Amino acid sequence: MFITVQAHQFSAYSHLLDQYFKLRKKVFADHLGWAVPVEDGKETDRYDRLKPVYLLWCDENLQTLFGGVRFMPTTGPTLLYDVFRKTFPNAVELRAPGIWEATRLCIDEDAIQQHELKITAARAFSLMILALSECGLEHGIHTLISNYEPQMARVYRRAGACIQELGRADGFGRLPVCCGAFEVTTEVCQFMRETLGVDESFYRTSTQTWFAQPLMLEAA
């Protein structure tokens, strides 16, 4: 199932957030070689202290994490502007209430295999992207912005995501980092479901604990 975890829920889901931060260290520091802060085996940064919203994929008992991603509104501080500003042209303006930043998206292949979900890592990542898009659509987000390495564009497109590369830059890791804008519409989400062979809303049919309240995140 997928759940959103907001600031007032951090303590209740601290066990899942700890797994998420450890997974981020494994993916972004160890595997990708990004220059990210690591402490006590976890990758966290100052944006995690700004009360973001997390979308977490976990088992039905809410104990084991399979993947996660962090949401931040572009009307406040973001990695996009503070760290990865040179990945998109100066003439491009990406600050608006309906544009949110999605960062640190990752999946735990070992946990997925151990729980015998019987899906490949590629499909797991694609389902995570679908859930991310449907979550955005649910909350009035029309554009998601993300930074990623070039080879990930193929993965996004295989999932049926509508992505536009706005630019890229070197100096963040072993490979260039791209900036992409993901369109979030009913049509795009439906196309993704058709591409992935999902009959209904993946997000709604797999999340029985979706919180009814809106994303209550204020710009810092």
**What pLDDT digit, counting tens, does each position of 128-139 carry?**
999 999 999 988
- The full set of domain ranges for the chain reads 2-206
122-140 b/e (C-beta count within 10 Å ≥ 16 → b): ebbbbbbbbbbbbbbbbbe
Residue 183 pLDDT > 50, yes or no? yes
97-119: per-residue pLDDT in tens?
Answer: 999 999 999 999 999 999 988 89
Query: What share of the chain in percent tops pLDDT 70?
Result: 91
Those residues whose C-beta lies under 8 Å from the C-beta of residue 172, and which sit 6 or more positions away, are 34, 35, 84
Q: 115, 194 in Cβ contact below 8 A?
A: no
Averaged pLDDT for residues 35-53: 94
- Of the CA atoms within 13 Å of residue 112, those in its CB half-sphere come to 20
pLDDT of residue 32: 81
Question: Once rounded to an integer, what is the mean pLDDT over residues 76-88?
Answer: 95
Residue 142 near residue 175 (C-beta atoms within 8 A): no
Q: From edge to edge, which strands make up the β-sheet containing 65-73?
A: 2-5, 53-58, 65-73, 99-107, 143-148, 177-183, 163-169
Question: Is CATH 3.40.630.30 the right assignment for the domain spanning 2-206?
Answer: yes
Average pLDDT of span 73-81: 95
Q: Which helix (H) or strand (E) holds 127?
A: helix 121-138
Strands (E), the chain: 2-5, 38-39, 42-43, 53-58, 65-73, 99-107, 143-148, 163-169, 177-183
Contact 177, 87 (CB under 8 A): yes
* 72 closest CA partner among 62, 63, 82: 82
